[in-house]
Structures are given as structure tokens and as C-alpha cells.
């Protein structure tokens, strides 16, 4: 699918000029065939009218920026900005302090916490957030791959299908080092079609660390571990580790998202016709002191590289560094959030 940027006819000079650009989320096109080499970057068309009320936008599947989204909540343009918050805590008070709802809300549950997850997702949608939920599984990867968890997954998907809006689901995120990755891939291949069939509003997502896929052991390479089935969204958990001691070394350089990650995530997503985003990210306090506009720049770069969501890890749980938003970091996040869309 291509989007037409413009077609002008200048009668006085009997000249015809056509400029086209491919939609960067359509799987890409051959840029070398563009008629004008200096064509401007792709820009989403201005909507004729953006519905004012959230209910009307939901009915028409239009974000607050005028971009539409599919039944599973994947935007056609623009990127949602949100966060994990506390221990699956309600972000409502935090949102009021910023004057804006989160675009996406990351939460984490065990396999026996379906009731709680459904309640949280319902509240998220009520406040115009897309729920992006990770579940640990009730059985092992091998057992899930063999079908033991089919009823559990089908029940979960069916319950999510009754909610008034899109939901993003992930099963056992960051699997690297947790077992036989082949069993994990087989489990994903079995559950994805089951969930997608039971819940037309649910995007099936896979969440990985990112570094392992690009720079780690070959068994974790994206093409090697990718399941042979339709996946709607792939998330990556990549942080700016500047200034922390981890893996027996001190990180004295900022993580270069623009050079080392985003172009490769975009290219993989285009090849596999899947959306991508940052499912977890964070900035250390030391990084914020020397790079105060990191939040806005990272979000803008992700959007330029066709990412559909960025979720900040705003919690102290399971943290190897001070990721939590406070002070200047929180102010910069709020600034970026005010310019990001919601449901």
C-alpha cells in the first residue's frame, strides 16, 4: 500500500510532475525509483477533522492526532507514549499531575492473575490508554507448546475480546536465558493464532531484550527465533545504560538508539510485516544530567523509524539502575507526552 503525497499539473508549461512516497509501515518500497530525488520525508496527511470526544474517536478508530488505527490498536502513523508505573499501580494521579493520559500502559501478571489483568485493562481503556500486558504462563514452554495451556489462553483472549477497545498481549517477555528458546518459539507459534482468532481486538506481541537479538548469541537472532505465524507487534526492552555498573563493567557511553537499534528494528519489522516499539526503556539519573532532552529525542527518533509505541519503565522494581522518573526526567517525559497521541 502506498500513500500519494501529491500530483500537480502545470498547464502553462505543459509539464507533469509526480512525487510519491511509500508508507513506512507498509513493508517499504524501493526509494531508488522515486521521481524526485529530493522529495521530502513521508508525512501523514492532515485529517479533515479529528473527533473531539474520546468515544467518537474510539468508534471511528482514530487517535487524538488524527491517525487511524486498526482493530487491534496498531496506529497507521504516529507513536503512542506511555509507561509501566510502580507495581501495576494506577497511573491516574500521575497523569493528572502531567495534564495528560498515557498513550500505552505496561503491566505484568502471572498466569493466575487473569481477573486482575482484565480489570486493569478495562480501566486503561476507560482512560484512553492502550493496555500492553505481559503474562507469565501457567505451564512450562514445552507444556504450552504441546497444548496444555490452550484453554487458559483461549479464556484469557475471550475475556479480553469483550473490552471496549484494543489490548496488546505478550506471553513470557524477555525469554533469553530462561530455557530452551526453541520451546519458547514453538509456544508462541501455537498461541498466537489461537489468541488472534478468539479476540479480534487483541494484538499478539512478542517482547525481547533487543541487545541479544542484534549482538548476542546466535540462538537469539531475530530471524532464528521468530515464530512461523502472524505476529502483530514486536517489542524491545532497550535502556540507556550510561553511568551504571552492570555485567562487570561500567558503561561510560550512551546507548545509541539512532545508530545501533532503531534502523535494524525498523528493517526487521518491514520484512516481516509486523509493527514494533520499545516495550521498556529508561534513562539513568547520570544520563539525564548530561542529556536532559533524551526523552523527546528518543521518542522522535522512534517515530521516524516507524515505531508505534514507547513505554518508559517508571518503577524501582527489578531495576539495576535508577530508571524512575523524577525531577527533570519527569518534566521532560511530561513535555513529550503532551505532544503524543492517545486513544
Q: In this predicted model, what pLDDT tens digit does every residue of 15-70 receive, in sequence order? A: 333 333 333 353 433 333 333 333 344 454 455 478 778 888 988 999 999 999 99
DSSP H helical ranges for 70-180? 92-98, 114-126, 141-145, 150-161
**What pLDDT tens digit does each residue of the chain (343 aa) get?**
333 333 333 333 333 333 333 333 534 333 333 333 333 444 544 554 787 788 889 889 999 999 999 999 999 999 999 999 999 999 999 999 999 999 999 999 999 999 999 999 999 999 999 999 999 999 999 999 999 999 999 999 999 999 999 999 999 999 999 999 999 999 999 999 999 999 999 999 999 999 999 999 999 999 999 999 999 999 999 999 898 876 656 677 899 999 999 999 999 999 999 999 999 999 999 999 999 999 999 999 999 999 999 999 999 998 888 999 999 999 999 999 999 999 9
The superfamily (CATH) of domain 54-338 is Glycosidases (3.20.20.80)
Strand 249-250 relative to strand 245-246, pairing: antiparallel
| pTM, to two decimals | 0.85
Percent of the chain residues topping a pLDDT of 90:
78
Instruction: State the span(s) of the chain assigned CATH 3.20.20.80.
Output: 54-338
Whole-angstrom CA distances from 284 to 109, 173, 240, 310 are 26, 22, 7, 17
Amino acid at each position: 500500500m502506498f500513500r500519494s503525497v501529491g500530483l500537480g499539473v502545470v498547464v502553462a508549461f505543459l509539464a507533469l510532475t509526480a512525487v510519491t512516497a511509500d508508507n513506512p509501515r507498509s513493508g517499504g518500497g524501493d526509494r531508488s525509483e522515486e521521481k524526485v530525488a529530493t522529495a521530502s520525508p513521508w508525512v501523514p496527511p492532515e485529517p479533515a477533522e479529528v473527533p473531539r470526544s474520546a468515544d467518537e474517536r474510539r468508534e471511528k478508530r482514530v487517535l487524538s492526532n488524527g491517525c487511524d488505527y486498526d482493530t487491534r490498536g496498531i496506529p497507521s502513523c504516529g507513536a503512542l507514549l506511555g509507561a509501566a508505573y510502580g507495581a501495576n499501580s494506577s497511573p491516574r494521579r500521575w497523569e493528572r499531575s502531567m495534564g495528560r493520559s498515557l498513550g500505552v500502559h505496561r503491566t505484568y501478571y502471572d498466569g493466575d492473575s487473569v481477573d486482575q489483568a482484565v480489570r486493569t485493562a478495562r480501566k486503561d481503556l476507560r482512560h484512553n490508554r492502550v493496555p500492553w500486558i505481559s503474562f507469565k504462563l501457567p505451564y512450562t514452554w514445552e507444556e504450552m507448546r504441546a497444548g496444555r495451556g490452550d484453554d487458559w489462553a483461549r479464556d484469557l483472549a475471550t475475556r479480553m475480546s469483550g473490552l471496549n477497545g484494543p489490548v496488546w498481549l505478550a506471553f513470557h517477555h524477555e525469554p533469553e536465558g530462561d530455557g530452551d528458546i526453541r520451546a519458547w518459539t514453538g509456544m508462541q507459534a501455537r498461541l498466537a493464532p489461537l489468541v488472534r482468532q478468539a479476540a479480534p481486538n487483541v494484538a499478539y506481541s512478542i517482547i525481547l531484550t533487543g541487545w541479544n537479538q542484534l549482538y548476542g548469541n546466535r540462538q537469539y537472532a531475530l530471524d532464528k527465533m521468530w515464530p512461523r505465524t502472524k505476529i502483530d507487534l514486536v517489542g524491545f526492552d532497550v535502556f540507556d545504560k550510561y553511568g551504571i555498573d552492570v555485567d562487570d563493567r561500567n558503561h561510560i557511553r550512551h546507548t545509541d538508539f539512532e545508530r545501533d537499534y532503531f534502523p535494524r528494528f525498523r528493517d526487521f519489522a518491514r520484512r516481516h510485516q509486523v509493527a514494533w516499539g520499545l516495550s521498556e526503556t529508561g534513562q539513568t539519573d547520570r544520563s539525564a544530567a548530561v542529556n536532559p532532552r533524551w526523552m523527546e529525542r528518543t521518542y522522535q527518533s522512534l517515530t521516524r523509524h516507524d515505531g508505534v509505541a514507547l513505554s518508559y519503565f517508571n518503577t524501582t522494581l527489578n531495576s539495576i539502575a535508577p530508571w524512575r522518573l523524577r525531577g527533570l526526567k519527569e518534566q521532560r517525559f511530561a513535555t513529550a507526552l503532551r505532544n503524543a497521541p492517545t486513544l
